[in-house]
Chain A
Amino acid sequence: MTATLPTHRGTDTAVRLTGVRKTFGQGTRAVTALDGIDLRVAPGEFVCLLGASGCGKTTVLNLIAGLDQPSAGTIELSTSRPAVMFQEAALMPWLTAARNVELPLRLAGVKKAERETRAAELLDLVRLSGAGDKRPHELSGGMRQRVALARALASALNRDGDGAALLLMDEPFSALDAITRDFLQSELLRVWQATGTAVVFVTHDVREAVRLGQRVVLLSSKPGRVVQEWAVADLDAPEGALVTEEINGRLREVISSHAA
């Protein structure tokens, strides 16, 4: 799971957003989704982006992933391609779990034997060694999301030299039942520590953000701006509960400001 070459670009930053604006539409009907977002994520850091609907969390992620271009401002990445996970697993239904994990490696021209080894390692990492031959429809929702995680890691781990520099996750557990979500949160933390990747995790769940992240960034809605940040690493349970309450209060204020 380690990079083959130790050459890192921008070693102090996994991703840096400077004055990022995003406007959809043109003229008088233009909608500003993001208004001057500044955000820096350190290598190996776990940052949760939190906000109500319409705060542009997903837009931020799409911009970082290169699925969309900012209207203004700059985005610097230390990796040539971040790993991305969506709310749906979006596995290719005609491929087995192992083939799905191999897909990004195949796209990158990795040889068959190496692909298979790599996919087996990654499936092992997400505790699905026995499910490589299964098709997506034969897996549970939680298993599918873990295959999607392995596939996302495969796409990032393959880049020469920069390792698993950045993992972008867009509410990846929000469609799962409570028990599965709880398990997958623990699994994600385990995988994060095993791979040393930086994570930008988008969620609308304050408890999830405080449980997973080292830092929680609250965004306002319409347009999206950074409202406040909290360092939530190394908190014990009572401290965590206090911060959760504080963030909830602040989130409520932000939402109330939209009442007419």
Chain B
Amino acid sequence: MPPEATAPVADHAVEGLDALDAPPEQPRRRTGLVRSVLAPIGALVVFVVAWQALWAAAIWPEYQLPAPIAVWDQVWKVTQTGQVWEFLWVSVHRAIIGFLISLAVATPLGLLLAKVAVVRAAIGPVISGLQSLPSVAWVPAAVLWFGTTDAAIYTVVLLGAVPSIANGLVAGIDQIPPILPRVGKVLGAGRVDAARYILLPAALPGYLAGLKQGWAFSWRSLMAAELIATSPQLGFGLGQYLHNGMSLSDMSMVMAGILLIFLVGVGIELLLFRPLERAVLRARGLSGSL
């Protein structure tokens, strides 16, 4: 009975209700500095002190547990001679190239897996299975196929990273609420537009999680490959540095190698993936504990 009912709500009533009902604005937390910076530093100090104490107690021989300062000296030495930049360059540029190739391969693969039932039935289980296969297992095969060349190394990196990224994208697409593609359809989106404007943006959080894991896997795979497949023609990366330490039975060098590998992995995660993920999730109101 519209005429009776259309007596308009007093103009400010709607605005008033909006003001009451809208979720309160979340102030951006800026006070987390102490927690986010000092807490890890505190943990590090505790760790180094415990290490120093264990070393001082001389429970294990020096070639098994060197002093913290000896490891630091190794890092300082390669930094002083400038060698560290060579190691980092050789390894990091390989990891990044390997990651980018993986990205280019895994993205269409993930889309196919998610949207084409036959493809998923045929190779879905294999792709998921590959994720749990340690990529170091591929090193012997890759060396026999390609010799100790860059091709062998990239093979191992790709086999490590592609399944993670593809699976991340599949998970991201599977988790899209079914109402969103329906809305896309009634708003007039065809198949291509639906993928571009709805499916891909909706799947972005899962895809990003896959990218993050893909980076971790490509870095791990690369170190495994460098560690096992050592040869002068491969250049001198962090893996080779670690391998040399082992050959020389120099524990401080081995630990310096592990430290550098760890720093690169964590550094890329903190500088690149964490801020990216945080920005995407915050824009959707999913920031949670980030």
Interface residues of A (CB under 8 A from B): 46, 65-67, 81-84, 86, 88, 90, 92-94, 103-104, 106-108, 127-128, 131, 135-143, 151-152, 155, 179-180, 183, 185-187, 189-190, 192-193, 210-214, 232-237, 239-240
Does B118 make an interface contact (CB < 8 A)? no
Give Cα A152 to B9, complex, Å: 23
Does B34 make an interface contact (CB < 8 A)? no
Interface residues of B (CB under 8 A from A): 1-9, 13-15, 17-18, 21-23, 25, 177, 179-180, 182-183, 185-189, 193, 197-198, 201-202, 204, 280, 283-285
23 pairs, CB–CB < 8 Å, chain A vs chain B: A65-B186, A86-B182, A90-B183, A92-B198, A103-B197, A106-B197, A107-B187, A108-B188, A140-B23, A142-B17, A155-B186, A180-B21, A183-B13, A183-B14, A187-B9, A190-B8, A192-B2, A193-B6, A210-B1, A211-B1, A234-B3, A235-B4, A239-B1
Q: Which residue of A lies closest to B21 (CB)?
A: A140
Q: Which residue of B lies closest to A139 (CB)?
A: B22
Contact (Cβ within 8 A) A84 B4? no
Contact (Cβ within 8 A) B4 A236? yes
Closest chain-A Cβ to B262's Cβ sits at a distance in Å of 34
Give Cα A128 to B204, complex, Å: 28
Chain A residues near B2: list those with CB within 8 A.
46, 189, 192-193, 212-214, 233-234
Give Cα A237 to B180, complex, Å: 40
Contact (Cβ within 8 A) B183 A86? yes
Give Cα A86 to B13, complex, Å: 25
Contact (A138, B186) CB under 8 Å given A90-B180, A180-B17, A187-B9: no
Contact (Cβ within 8 A) A185 B185? no
Q: Which residue of A lies closest to B15 (CB)?
A: A127
Contact (A186, B5) CB under 8 Å given A136-B285, A137-B284, A142-B18: yes
User: Which among A94, A138, A187 is the interface contact of B202 at CB below 8 angstroms?
Assistant: A94
